[in-house]
Chain A
Amino acid sequence: MIKIQNIRKRFKRLNALNDITVEFRKGQVIALIGPNGSGKTTLIRSILGLVKPDSGKIYCNDIAINETVEYRDNIGYMPQVGRYPDNMKVGQLFTLIKNIRGLEKNTDEELYYKFKLDTILEKPMRTLSGGTRQKVSAALAFLFDPEILILDEPTAGLDPLSSEILKSKIIAEKKRGKLILITSHVLSDLEEFTTDIMYLNEGKMIFFKSIDEVRSETGEDKLSKSIARIMRDQQKTELQYFKIAR
């Protein structure tokens, strides 16, 4: 569904994405993992077309994304920090987005009601807490029943109850065969639904493997432990390089 070919992106001195080639298929739930500043968000924003890669191509359903904007019709995006216009009311935001996406589309308002957003329609966005904004972002991402869901740190800032609601929604959508891309530092959250893991470091893709492979290779049963082991091993090799270099 999404094909990424040799994309590179540099921000001045920072090498945000370094020659990444990967393909995501329908039904996969991909966890994007990596230390801070490893290029996860840049990758996501490149897929959305917010960041323009220096070279390489991204295809969504075999159409190059710089040729069209319609592919975003199939994408629901939940940003890391939901920033919305201050004066806009919650109700207005939903009406506007519905207007843009087309009123005739089927909408999935499960999260909208479960997060009780219908009770705060008259509140301006600036008065909402960080967690409530996250709820708005989540409800918007799932609203149009898109084939591809891109969730950037979805559970950060949500209370345990809402976090559970969101997680069960993700599992339900996974069962319906959607492609879901998630970044998160809370590995225990990912455990329940991830099928594949993509590990990034300093803009490079270190590996892209299914969760079973990762488990068997590290010999750890828990995802958080296996990843912690991989990160530790990596640091060790880096340290060795460093020693040799000196």
Chain B
Amino acid sequence: MSHLLKISKYVLYDIARNKVMIAYTLFLLIASMGLFQMEENSSKAVLSLLNIVLIVIPLVSLVFSTIHWYNSYEFIELMLTQPLSRNKVLLSEYAGISSSLVVAVLIGLGVPILIYNFNAVGLSLLLIGCLLSLVFTSISFWASVKSRDKARGIGVALLLWFYFTLIFDGLLLLVLFAFSDYPLEKFTLIVSSLNPIDLGRIFIMLQMDVSALMGYTGAIYKEFFGSSLGLLYTLGIMILWTILPLWLALISFRKKDL
């Protein structure tokens, strides 16, 4: 355990001086500050911010962790010639990268929310931002362990991002359209759990007043997601989305030739 912390501390220290990470934090900070400043109505600003959060955070988490993984390949190899298990090395890398991404979100998004919109909606946005960072770092680890060279790894990361932000929604809409004669509320709820971005979007939207415009379906969802059960459900699914890819990454990393 102490080894794990020592290595992640080093990884964190290394990333803290990384220019991309600083730029990412500043971007989040400036974008959210700007939106809160410009919009009269703070809930409107949160809605715009939501879209940035749901697009930018997964993208940066995926691409940054993938590139960092390949760049620290030498470091990983060096650690593995020491008396450290593969699980420990991978988990400490994960802890280092994901915590630095979470810190970036907490500063870039958390500070403006604290100043301008400190309420349930703001906090859920912050929560989803942090959870998405964890989820997509974990997914990128799996992709990077599986693919040997850097170009392919980054390609896979981008493809996954396209899938989760665009393709999945397209497919879902197609299904909903084709079966629009049937009651699909429960189905949609379950299917949206298959995409952490969608789940995050629904969770935040239903904390806001705009959900009143979504009619009967919206009312059903609001009943679910507005309750503490909804919060627990979202948290649970997000944690599952973090653990599962990381676990798969561990399994293939243990067998991998370096």
Contacts and interface: CB of A to CB of B under 8 A. Distances in A.
Interface of A: 11, 45, 48-52, 69-73, 75, 77, 79, 83-88, 92, 96-97, 99-101
A48 B86 CA distance: 12
Interface string B50-75: 00000000000000000000011011
Interface stretch (B77-85, B94-102, B222-230, B242-250): B77-85
Lowest 3 A-B CB distances belong to which pairs? A83-B74, A72-B83, A85-B75
B258 interface: yes
B82 A88 contact: no
A85 B84 contact: no
A70 B85 CA distance: 9
A63 to B, nearest CB: 12
A73 B77 contact: no
B84 A49 contact: no
Interface residues of B, number: 23
Interface of A is mostly: mixed
A11 B84 CA distance: 25
B163 interface: no
A50 B77 contact: yes
The B interface, classified by DSSP as helix, strand, loop or mixed, is: helix
Contacts of A45: 258
A70 B79 CA distance: 13
Given A69-B83, A69-B84, A96-B6, A84 B257 contact: no
B254 to A, nearest CB: 8
A70 B80 CA distance: 11
B80 A50 contact: yes
B77 A83 contact: yes
B3 A100 contact: yes
Given A50-B257, A51-B258, A96-B6, A84 B75 contact: yes
Contact of B83 (A87, A92, A101): A101
Given A51-B258, A85-B78, 7 more contacts: A50-B257, A52-B256, A72-B83, A73-B83, A85-B72, A100-B84, A101-B82
Contacts of A75: 81
B81 A52 contact: no
18 contacts: A49-B80, A50-B77, A50-B80, A50-B81, A52-B257, A69-B84, A70-B83, A71-B83, A72-B84, A83-B74, A84-B75, A85-B78, A86-B71, A87-B14, A87-B17, A100-B79, A100-B82, A100-B84
